Structure 1
Amino acid sequence: MQDDDPDDRRLFEQAMQGVRRLATDKVVPATPRPAPVPRKTVEDEQQVMRDILSDLFEPADLATGEELEYARPGLQHRVLRKLRRGQYSVQSELDLHGLTVPLARIAVADFLKACGERKLRCVRIIHGKGRRSSNKGPVLKTKVEHWLRQRDEVLAFCSARQVDGGTGAVYVLLRRQL
Structure 2
Amino acid sequence: MKPRDKVPARGDEEASLFRDEVQDVEPLPVVDKVIHSRKLPRPTINRVLRDEASILDSSFPDHNLPEMETGDEGSFLRSGVSRQTMRRLRRGYWKINARLDLHGFTRDEAQQELGEFFNTCQDRGFRCVQVIHGKGLNSKNHEPILKTMVGNWLAQHNYVLAFCQANPADGGSGAALVLLKTATSNRKK
TM range (shorter): 0.5 to 0.7
Shift of 1:133: 2.0
TM (normalized to structure 2)? 0.58
Q: How far apart, in 1, do the equivalents of 2:101 and 2:163 lie?
A: 16
Q: Would the aligned equivalents of 2:136 and 2:142 in 1 still touch at CA under 8 Å?
A: no
Letter in 1 for 2:99: E
The corresponding residue for 2:77 is: 71
Residue equivalent to 1:24: none
- Establish whether residue 123 from structure 1 lines up as the match of residue 119 from structure 2: no
Equivalent residue for 1:95? 101
3-state SS of 2:87 partner? helix
Q: 1:88: how far off?
A: 1.1
Match of 2:161 among 140, 147, 155: 155
Amino acid at match of 2:88: K
SS in 1 for 2:114: helix
Matched, 1:164 2:179: no
For 2:72 and 2:105, the matched residues in 1 are separated by 21
Match of 2:128, as an amino acid?
A: C
1:1-178 equivalent positions in 2, closer than 5 A: 68-135=74-141, 137-178=143-184
Asked whether the equivalents of residues 86 and 160 of structure 1 are also in contact (C-alpha less than 8 Å), the reply is no
Residue 68 of structure 1 deviates from its aligned partner by: 0.8
SS at match of 2:140: coil
CA distance in 2, matches of 1:174, 1:66: 20
Q: By how many angstroms is 1:66 displaced?
A: 7.7
Task: Give the aligned residue type for 2:126.
Answer: L
- Please give the alpha-carbon distance, in whole angstroms, between the structure 1 residues aligned to 2:96 and 2:73: 18
- Post-superposition Cα deviations, 1:29-72, rounded to whole Å, max 9, x if no partner, equal xxxxxxxxxxxxxxxxxxxxxxxxxxxxxxxxxxxx88610000
Q: Deviations over 1:61-96 (max 9, x none)?
A: xxxx88610000111111101101222100000000
Aligned equivalent of 1:41: none
Rounded Cα–Cα distance in structure 2 between residues aligned with 1:131 and 1:66:
21
TM-score by length of 1: 0.61
| Higher radius of gyration, 1 or 2 | 1
Q: Secondary structure at the match of 1:135?
A: helix
Amino acid at match of 2:112: I
Counterpart CA distance in 2 for 1:78 and 1:149 is: 18
Report the Cα offset of residue 120 of structure 1: 0.6
CA contact (8 A) 1:67 1:159 kept: no
Number of residue pairs aligned between Structure 1 and Structure 2? 114
